[in-house]
């Protein structure tokens, strides 16, 4: 077991950011954490990386209790945060160098690892470029490389493709898949439903700081049905769900109005469980 959370609570005054969150993540898994803004996703990641103290509960990372062995946990984890936090006045190589030194990597190993990762994220030709000159997509790739520099067993990706155009986003997806295939456990938060469906073997929905449901993406969607019929009218859209396409088409034919037929997705499931959209 890579992550085990039991009754995690985090309060800020009267605000409860996490409300008894319990979940598990297996070693080698690519796990997606979904929820609307303010659901508690980033708070959970900050706690698991030792950046914020939990109010109560228990978190165990690869057998280490977070409150008792926080330093050991930090060595196990890599974090690519939601907001770009690279030093723009330093080069790509210098940003990696500082990270390697902070984690105590010996000089020879640090330099070898830097070259390996620059090739891994396809940025070898930009090693001496100032970070402030990089595109958004390149900065995201550099943040993932930096998070992997000290060879963590667990990689946290907090909204790794936010603000990127679809083509660049898919390049980042390919990189994340490659990280997972190399044996690193990946804990991903995202607003993009298609991102979770494409990348994750298992997903969890969080709403108002509490776990709503978890499971394999296709299985969660299938609880509603296979096909959705969206009906447009009165300035709003309503969706109905059907087990097969024939039943969905029959409903459209038997009723008046403007309809759209599509596959059921994870956002349908989340909306039905919480009344909220993921993003």
Instruction: Give the model confidence (pLDDT) of 159-215 as tens digits.
Output: 999 888 898 999 999 999 999 999 999 999 988 888 999 999 999 999 999 999 999
What was the pLDDT predicted at 278? 66
Mean per-residue pLDDT for 20-28?
Answer: 96
Contact assessment for residue 173 and residue 199, using Cβ atoms and an 8 Å cutoff: yes
| CA atoms of 271 and 254, how far apart (whole Å) | 26
Question: Which domains are delineated in the chain?
Answer: 3-215 (3.40.50.300), 220-274 (no CATH)
pLDDT, one tens digit per residue, over 223-279 is 999 999 999 877 778 899 999 999 999 999 999 888 999 999 998 998 888 877 665
What is the DSSP secondary-structure string of 134-156? Answer: S-HHHHHHHHHHHHHTT--SEEE
In 134-266, beta strands by DSSP E: 154-158, 185-190, 202-207, 210-215, 227-233, 236-242, 258-263
């Amino acid at each position: 077991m890579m992550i085990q959370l039991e009754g995690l609570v985090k309060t800020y005054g009267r605000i409860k950011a996490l409300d008894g969150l319990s979940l598990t993540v297996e070693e080698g898994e690519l796990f997606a954490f979904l929820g609307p803004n303010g659901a508690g996703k980033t708070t959970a990641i900050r706690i698991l990386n030792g950046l914020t103290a939990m109010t109560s509960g228990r978190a165990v990372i690869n057998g280490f209790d977070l409150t008792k062995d926080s330093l050991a946990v930090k060595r196990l984890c890599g974090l690519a945060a939601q907001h770009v936090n690279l030093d723009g006045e330093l080069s790509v190589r210098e940003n990696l160098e500082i990270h390697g030194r902070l984690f105590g990597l010996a000089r020879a190993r640090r330099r070898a690892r830097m070259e390996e990762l620059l090739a891994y994220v396809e940025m070898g030709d930009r090693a001496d470029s100032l970070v402030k000159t990089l595109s958004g997509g390149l900065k995201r790739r550099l943040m993932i490389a930096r998070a992997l520099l000290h060879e963590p067993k667990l990689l946290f990706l907090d909204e790794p493709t936010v603000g990127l155009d679809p083509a660049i986003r898919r390049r980042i997806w390919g990189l994340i898949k490659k990280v997972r295939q190399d044996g690193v456990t990946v804990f991903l938060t995202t607003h993009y439903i298609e991102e979770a469906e494409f990348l994750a073997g298992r997903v969890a929905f969080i709403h108002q700081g509490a776990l709503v449901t978890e499971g394999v993406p296709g299985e969660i969607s299938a609880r509603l049905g296979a096909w959705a019929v969206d009906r447009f009218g009165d300035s709003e859209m309503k969706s109905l769900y059907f087990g097969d396409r024939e039943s969905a088409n029959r409903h459209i034919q038997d009723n008046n109005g403007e309809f759209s037929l599509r596959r059921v997705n994870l956002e349908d499931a989340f909306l039905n469980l919480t009344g909220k959209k993921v993003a």
